[in-house]
Chain A
Amino acid sequence: MALTRGLASASRAILVAITIGCGSSSQADGGAVVDRGRYGPYDATVFISPVPPRVGVVDFSVLLSKGGEPQLTVPIRVRADGPDGASSECEMHGADSGNRLLRAGDLKINSPGIWRIAVAFGAESATFEITVGAAPQRWESLLPWLGLWIPAALLMIAREVLANHQRQRRSAWIRRSDS
């Protein structure tokens, strides 16, 4: 009994800690493969998220290996050049990735169109293009949060209909027993 009480208290404490501490962060657990190939001695696979990419922050992850061994210390940089001459660049780190075998980094993509991506690792580099869509409207990206009340309201209506039905049945039963 004491154990379950202790565990319940601990669970509550964890819940509070999560509620306070949980923030959104880029998980960089992959997404769609946009490029893979052998570059010099390296095998590189590049993932992006979200799929398809849209204006805003795009998460790039790279799985780099050499002879079947993931390369975790080779410095990796990613650069994006946009159609309007804009560019964005960042260094990729294992610490930014949920899966530490991958190296991840976020790039700010600020216009729709075809972007040229260059991923440099050691002396090698992989280049490819991605098509970036327009940014979602603010309300569009928050749509899942805006519609939560609708299913909740439907459940409340269903509850009320059922409760009303049960009340009527109970009254009918009482009337019958009285008569």
Chain B
Amino acid sequence: MAAAIFSSWNLDPWLIAGITIATTLYLRGARGLTGRVRGFPRWRPKCFLAGVGILFLALASPIDSLGHLLLWIHMAQHWLLIMVAAPLILLGSPGIPLLRGLPRIVRKQALGPFIASPFVRGCLNALLHPATGWLAFAIVNWIWHYPRFYGTALESPLVHRFEHASFLIGAMLFWWQIIAPWPWRARLPDAALVVYLLAADVQNTIFSAIVTFSDTVLYPNYLATAPALGWDALRDQRVAGAFMWTAGQFVMLPVAIFLVLRALRGVRRSSIVAPARPATSPRTRERFDLLKVAGIGTFLRNRQMRMLVRWSLVLVAVVIVIDGFWGPSDAPSNLAGTLPWTHWRGLIVIALLFGGNFLCMTCPLMAPRHQMRRWIRPRFRWPTALRSKWFSVVLIVLWLVSYEAFDLWSSPFATAMLVVGYFVAILVVDGLFRGASFCKWVCPIGQFHMTQSLVSPLSVSIRDPTVCATCIGHECIRGSRSIEPVAGTISLPQLVPGCELELFQPVKRGNLDCTFCLDCVDACPHGNVGILVAPQSKSLADRQWGSSIARIGSRADIAALLTLLTFGAFANAVGMTSPWLDFVDQTTLQFGLRSTTIVEILFLLVAIVVLPSFVVGATAWLSARYAKSNWRESLCRGAHALVPIGAAMWCVHWFYHLATGAATGIPVVQRAINDAGESWFGIANWVGIPQWSDSCCGPTPTWLIPLELVILQLGLLVSGWMVWRGPSDRAGMRGVLVAIPWWALALGLWIAGVWIVLQPMQMRGSATPWP
């Protein structure tokens, strides 16, 4: 039995995540304060960690599990929350460290107006009033111990969590007055605090006495469970009452004595509520720069290492092409049918959402191109007539249509042809035209990466603008002569190219057109270019001129590209839902067609060309009427604002494939290695066990749909925010009217996304049973 009890841990992921996030933020914020600021000595973080540890013990250890069976253990749990965890956390003075631990943009942009608001400060002031603290403590105690509410909490995990949260918050409000965590100061003198504390002790005594001396079982839930553990329910209740009584006083009385002694010593304290000013200014932190992170930064800065990654991916591409041409034609058993469509696409969206355009950085096409450029000097400049995104728009339309209509994902041969075609295309285009013409004007995948990285948190940008202001060489765009000799050659200076995509760092805005090649990092003689955290929405919303993209409000081609990819996300995802497939089949039958291809092509052209042109055009027209501005500018800026909701849909769709199909990579690789006559990676087992080896997709994990809904909502919120900052210019009520059409469009797209997520999915071309 003891073993069963000690193994009864309730490792609720939400609890662990909450505690870990709070601890991370606290420690991050405390880093510059500990020992540097008067009022924040080294024992404070220790108290906070101890408090958090007790909190975890109370809510996750066997105490929580046994609290469902025995009342006295449940009361011990409440005592730990109220009398131990809450005061210890407050002794850690969590307010300032938690704020400092937040990313600067959240602290300043999101929380700043709240912190500075007199209204919010007034509310906080009222919340931290001694009367509020005392009443919160007592009311929470009495309400939750009322048998009806107590029983409800025992039966519902959600209510039980809420009960514990309210105990903790009520206790923190109560102890706040006594502990007065730095930088706040106590409102009441010590003598008054003694009364405050003893009054709370009296109510605790009354309540404990009622529980202890009751002749009936107040909480009927324990009538069933206490006897099973050898306890009489009434005895259990009396022990619980006595525990609350004595354990409460065990904490409150020593604190009261301490306060009395301090009052007698005559230590006077101010009743000012304003925060005390730190004796020394805390250390300010620099912006996060990935290139300064030990290990990964060194790796990324090394040109040879980046090229090595690209050549490694060339090798992978070659293997995929070989398997695509000569391997099995069944997509789920072929490397060309799984790795590009399941794994690579899933990794793309993760990299874009949490990092930046690292996929272009590691693009395997760049390696042979680089080699070719050593032998062939391109002679031509990319034609002026094609120096816009319109050519890419056409290619992406063709891409999306052919993907859907010709089921590219289900044909390893077609996938292999596509990969070969890509290599040929870049060698031809960049063999003829100077600069990175293929990346900037042609590559549909590159356009996808560059546009979706508009929502990425990281951006290649300058560290210090003053350095650029005094720079006369402009090596980041012109290139420079490296002073380092190339290994194995005569020690002549090597040419380090500048940005081949014509982005001049000091005036570069956002990630658009940036392939993260890091040539600018290599070329800058001042070491002033890094991969920095940069709010993309800010760079997109402003009206300033940006290098190579000019003014956002004037680029209809970029707006068309963004709109196409936003609507393309939804059209591409809806293509795998059962209702849509039924509709295609019925329509095909109705018109007596032989295959579904024509219906699919027509649908896609409507969904990604006709519908967006009409809907976005009408939205921009409506918005421009209120703004009394240019329709074209409204359209261009509004299209940018829709990128986050589109990116969220791409993420949801491709991450779904990765989450349900990641494990299929193993048997497919095993099969490819087995076909080569080797078995060092194991023997592919296609039938039966393991289950995931018999098709592309495992069952949908229960956490996946909620996660997808959260991602879609984040997309909606960021789009809404960008509309407010972009087309509406935050211009009061008029700005709201200007924003409403765009908000409505974003909401409509979100509803479409939710509908898609809730539909049953069909993995066409991948669900073929294995031989």
Identify the A interface with B (CB < 8 A).
1, 4-5, 7-8, 11-12, 14-15, 18-19, 21-24, 27, 29-33, 36, 43, 45, 49, 51, 63-65, 67-70, 72, 94, 98-101, 138-139, 142, 145-146, 148-149, 152-153, 156, 158-160, 162-166
A145 contact from B35, B45, B706, Cβ within 8 A? B706
B68 contact from A24, A30, A67, Cβ within 8 A? A30
Provide the B220-233 mask, 1 if CB < 8 A to any CB of A, else 0. 01001101111100
Q: Is the CB of B228 within 8 A of A45?
A: yes
Closest chain B CB from A60 CB (angstroms): 15
Q: Is the CB of B703 within 8 A of A24?
A: yes
Closest chain A CB from B93 CB (angstroms): 14
Closest chain A CB from B717 CB (angstroms): 6
Provide the B720-735 mask, 1 if CB < 8 A to any CB of A, else 0. 1100100000101000
For B713, the chain A residues whose CB sits under 8 A away are: 146, 148-149, 152
Complex Cα–Cα for A75 and B24 (A)? 45
For B156, the chain A residues whose CB sits under 8 A away are: 51
Q: Is the CB of B20 within 8 A of A15?
A: yes
Closest chain A CB from B753 CB (angstroms): 11
Complex Cα–Cα for A146 and B7 (A)? 35
For B155, the chain A residues whose CB sits under 8 A away are: 30-32, 51
B28 contact from A8, A18, A94, Cβ within 8 A? A8
Complex Cα–Cα for A179 and B34 (A)? 45
For A1, the chain B residues whose CB sits under 8 A away are: 31, 34-35
Q: Is the CB of B157 within 8 A of A8?
A: no
Q: Is the CB of B709 within 8 A of A11?
A: no
Complex Cα–Cα for A138 and B705 (A)? 11
Closest 7 CB pairs of A and B: A68-B230, A22-B13, A99-B65, A65-B228, A149-B713, A100-B4, A163-B113
Chain A residue with the shortest CB-CB distance to B117: A162
B24 contact from A12, A30, A70, Cβ within 8 A? A12
Interface centre among A18, A27, A164 (most CB of B within 10 A): A18
Given contact pairs A27-B10, A145-B709, a sample of 4 additional A-B residue pairs in the complex whose CB atoms are under 8 Å apart: A1-B35, A22-B17, A23-B703, A146-B754
Chain A residue with the shortest CB-CB distance to B35: A1
A-B contact pairs, 13 of them (CB 8 A): A22-B16, A23-B702, A29-B10, A29-B68, A43-B227, A70-B1, A99-B10, A99-B68, A142-B709, A148-B713, A149-B716, A165-B117, A166-B117
- B1-53 interface with A by 8 A CB criterion: 1, 3-5, 7-10, 12-13, 16-17, 20-21, 23-24, 27-28, 30-31, 34-35, 45, 49
Q: Is the CB of B230 within 8 A of A98?
A: no
B732 contact from A49, A67, A164, Cβ within 8 A? A164
Q: Is the CB of A4 within 8 A of B705?
A: no
Complex Cα–Cα for A126 and B349 (A)? 53
Complex Cα–Cα for A38 and B644 (A)? 60
Known: A4-B45, A145-B710, A162-B120. A18 touches B16 (CB 8 A): yes
Complex Cα–Cα for A14 and B16 (A)? 9
Closest chain A CB from B579 CB (angstroms): 14
Complex Cα–Cα for A148 and B709 (A)? 9
For B120, the chain A residues whose CB sits under 8 A away are: 162
* Interface residue? B110 (CB, 8 A): yes
Q: Is the CB of B157 within 8 A of A63?
A: no
Closest chain B CB from A172 CB (angstroms): 14
Chain B residue with the shortest CB-CB distance to A51: B155
Known: A1-B31, A159-B110. A29 touches B709 (CB 8 A): no
Chain A residue with the shortest CB-CB distance to B116: A166
Chain A residue with the shortest CB-CB distance to B27: A8
Known: A27-B157, A156-B717. A43 touches B20 (CB 8 A): no
Q: Is the CB of B720 within 8 A of A153?
A: yes
For B154, the chain A residues whose CB sits under 8 A away are: 30
Chain B residue with the shortest CB-CB distance to A65: B228
Closest chain A CB from B12 CB (angstroms): 8
Q: Is the CB of B228 within 8 A of A70?
A: yes
Q: Is the CB of A15 within 8 A of B34?
A: no
Q: Is the CB of B710 within 8 A of A101?
A: no
Closest chain A CB from B62 CB (angstroms): 8
Complex Cα–Cα for A177 and B192 (A)? 44
Closest chain B CB from A26 CB (angstroms): 10
* Interface residue? B266 (CB, 8 A): no
Q: Is the CB of B758 within 8 A of A142?
A: yes
Known: A36-B224, A43-B227. A99 touches B706 (CB 8 A): no
Interface centre among B20, B717, B750 (most CB of A within 10 A): B20
Q: Is the CB of B8 within 8 A of A18?
A: no
Q: Is the CB of B758 within 8 A of A72?
A: no
- B202-246 interface with A by 8 A CB criterion: 221, 224-225, 227-231
* Interface residue? B114 (CB, 8 A): yes
For B709, the chain A residues whose CB sits under 8 A away are: 142, 145-146, 148
* Interface residue? B188 (CB, 8 A): no
For A21, the chain B residues whose CB sits under 8 A away are: 13
Interface centre among A5, A22, A65, A100 (most CB of B within 10 A): A100
Provide the B448-489 mask, 1 if CB < 8 A to any CB of A, else 0. 000000000000000000000000000000000000000000
Complex Cα–Cα for A164 and B736 (A)? 13
For B710, the chain A residues whose CB sits under 8 A away are: 145, 148
Q: Is the CB of B754 within 8 A of A159?
A: no
For B7, the chain A residues whose CB sits under 8 A away are: 100
Q: Is the CB of A159 within 8 A of B114?
A: yes
Q: Is the CB of A99 within 8 A of B66?
A: yes
Chain B residue with the shortest CB-CB distance to A163: B113
Known: A22-B17, A153-B720. A65 touches B229 (CB 8 A): yes
A18 contact from B13, B30, B68, Cβ within 8 A? B13
Q: Is the CB of A166 within 8 A of B10?
A: no
* Interface residue? B701 (CB, 8 A): yes
For B114, the chain A residues whose CB sits under 8 A away are: 158-159, 162
Interface centre among A138, A139, A159 (most CB of B within 10 A): A159
For B705, the chain A residues whose CB sits under 8 A away are: 142, 145
Complex Cα–Cα for A98 and B68 (A)? 11
Complex Cα–Cα for A65 and B112 (A)? 57
Q: Is the CB of A15 within 8 A of B10?
A: no
A7 contact from B4, B16, B23, Cβ within 8 A? B23
- B683-715 interface with A by 8 A CB criterion: 701-703, 705-706, 709-710, 713
Q: Is the CB of B69 within 8 A of A33?
A: no
Complex Cα–Cα for A36 and B226 (A)? 12
Complex Cα–Cα for A124 and B361 (A)? 68
Q: Is the CB of B720 within 8 A of A11?
A: no
Q: Is the CB of B69 within 8 A of A101?
A: yes
B4 contact from A19, A45, A72, Cβ within 8 A? A72
Complex Cα–Cα for A23 and B224 (A)? 31
For B703, the chain A residues whose CB sits under 8 A away are: 22-24
Chain B residue with the shortest CB-CB distance to A94: B4
Q: Is the CB of B20 within 8 A of A4?
A: no
Q: Is the CB of A15 within 8 A of B1?
A: no
Complex Cα–Cα for A30 and B70 (A)? 13
Known: A101-B69, A142-B705, A164-B732. A63 touches B228 (CB 8 A): yes
Chain B residue with the shortest CB-CB distance to A63: B228
Chain A residue with the shortest CB-CB distance to B4: A100
For A156, the chain B residues whose CB sits under 8 A away are: 717, 720-721
Q: Is the CB of A11 within 8 A of B23?
A: yes
Q: Is the CB of B30 within 8 A of A4?
A: yes
Q: Is the CB of A152 within 8 A of B702?
A: no
Known: A30-B68, A43-B227. A101 touches B20 (CB 8 A): no
Q: Is the CB of A162 within 8 A of B8?
A: no
